[in-house]
Structure 1
């Protein structure tokens, strides 16, 4: 991986992390097209630069995270409760997840099936009752956390899984999206820490890769800032259908390319 590769992958991450189209899936395809999919550092890079993207959430919603009031402890506790299922599942199935991360076919199928789901989501949940995180119960947060486990499959999309999970639990579209953003912070922070711990020998052997990680995180942060603002506005105005069509088109292209013998 060189700096050009790092910037391209980071742009892909920043654009897709908070959209319901799977950042991991898009990074897998991007790294395949760039010819760096089999590089061990690439696999570490794709996880660690998500830290830059989630820092965009902390900056944009800094009052939510950094200004303490009587409701803040419950907010933090709900995030902790919601992240537990994915942490446990991610630890138990770590090796299997790593195998799936090398499969563009898995990405294509997940994008296609998830796209079909997004075409109908807006019609499934018509009567939301929860428009603030204060109205959420701990049990509601936990159930959204179980939905997040689906995103351990590349191509599913953590954002899509948690937003749909939130809407299924009676959250409004915008509140489900915001809680999905908030939940990304502990989830991705834990994933980044775990990946860095596992890859510490790789970084120690090639310290120049730290520069690539720094650049990648900065680029992902800047791009994610714009993507979050765009997504909230688009979601309120258009719902999920546009993302459903996008996923179906990309999924079909990936599957067709693989069936035609193209190397992804």
Structure 2
């Protein structure tokens, strides 16, 4: 298999799994056993490609928040209901996204400095898949009961935003957890009973998070003199493949959650994690 084809497949895998709550890190690590190990810059860059897809999907939402900062209403067609969001609400939402990102950035730098990171081996990722799947099933039941009592709540509270920021740190420390799963379900358990609203916030907060991570890795690679050793053609192919497939995956997921729960993803995680634990010798 050529290196470009391997990079293309890795980009497709990243694009499909980054926003589905099934752990892109876990799937990439498994795929790299056959397609070849890649640099940290490569892995972060293809994640940025997937995040670019979210920017394209939510560009009206993002532009509306930008307009809010200068006190202007977004056009009516920027809202699916045809009712523009008041600037004050858009500004507050943007501040909450910024707060969640700030928590992640500060905590992420601290975690990296202290070296709090599980090894990128299959066994701990398999356990994270299993335990995360079980947690998703329990969390969805609790969220559904809360929604039945309180009705659908779409608002993102400040506490929810800060907890989502912490959830991103946990997902970074425990490979296989899934950033999207951690952030979506923390938002649901923290009081946002609407799956669509929780998913949207989780996706949007990933934009600054992953772009910042890409910039950090680029700077670190440049300082270490690793730029010359990077296969930029393969990285470019994987970046584009990730962006295109992520666009399709996110569009599909946003339609799917309108009438379905996340249970199928939880079951998939448990089955995949269990298969990995049975298939691989301890420690691999």
Q: Which residue of 2 aligns with 1:145?
A: 165
1:118 and 1:20 map into 2 onto residues whose CA distance is 9
Structure 2 residue corresponding to 1:161, chosen from 182, 187, 200 = 182
2:33 and 2:113 map into 1 onto residues whose CA distance is 20
Paired residues for 1:96-245 under 5 Å: 100-125=118-143, 126-128=145-147, 131-132=153-154, 135-152=155-172, 153-171=174-192, 172-200=194-222, 201-206=224-229, 209-245=231-267
Unaligned runs of 5+ in 2: 69-86
2:7 and 2:161 map into 1 onto residues whose CA distance is 35
1:193 and 1:163 map into 2 onto residues whose CA distance is 25
Using the TM superposition, give the Cα deviation of residue 28 of structure 1 relative to its aligned residue in structure 2, in angstroms: 1.1
Q: Which residue of 2 aligns with 1:47?
A: 44
Using the TM superposition, give the Cα deviation of residue 74 of structure 1 relative to its aligned residue in structure 2, in angstroms: 2.2
CA contact (8 A) 1:57 1:181 kept: yes
CA RMSD, 1 decimal? 2.2
CA contact (8 A) 1:82 1:143 kept: yes
Unaligned runs of 5+ in 1: none
CA contact (8 A) 1:28 1:101 kept: no
Q: Which residue of 2 aligns with 1:15?
A: 16
1:13 and 1:96 map into 2 onto residues whose CA distance is 28
Q: Structure 1 pair 130/237, CA: closer, same or farther in 2 (3 Å)? A: closer
Paired residues for 1:13-92 under 5 Å: 13-34=14-35, 36-37=36-37, 39=38, 41=39, 43-67=40-64, 68-69=67-68, 70=87, 71-92=89-110
Instruction: Give me the TM-score of the superposition, normalised by structure 2.
Output: 0.82
Aligned length: 255
Q: Which residue of 2 aligns with 1:259?
A: 281
Using the TM superposition, give the Cα deviation of residue 239 of structure 1 relative to its aligned residue in structure 2, in angstroms: 0.6
2:275 and 2:97 map into 1 onto residues whose CA distance is 36
Using the TM superposition, give the Cα deviation of residue 92 of structure 1 relative to its aligned residue in structure 2, in angstroms: 1.9
Using the TM superposition, give the Cα deviation of residue 83 of structure 1 relative to its aligned residue in structure 2, in angstroms: 1.5
Instruction: Give me the TM-score of the superposition, normalised by structure 1.
Output: 0.88
1:166 and 1:99 map into 2 onto residues whose CA distance is 24
Name the SS for the 1:100 alignment partner. Answer: coil
Q: Structure 1 pair 130/146, CA: closer, same or farther in 2 (3 Å)? A: farther
Per-residue CA deviations over 1:104-152 (Å, capped at 9, x if unaligned) read: 11110100111111222221013346644xx323333112212222211
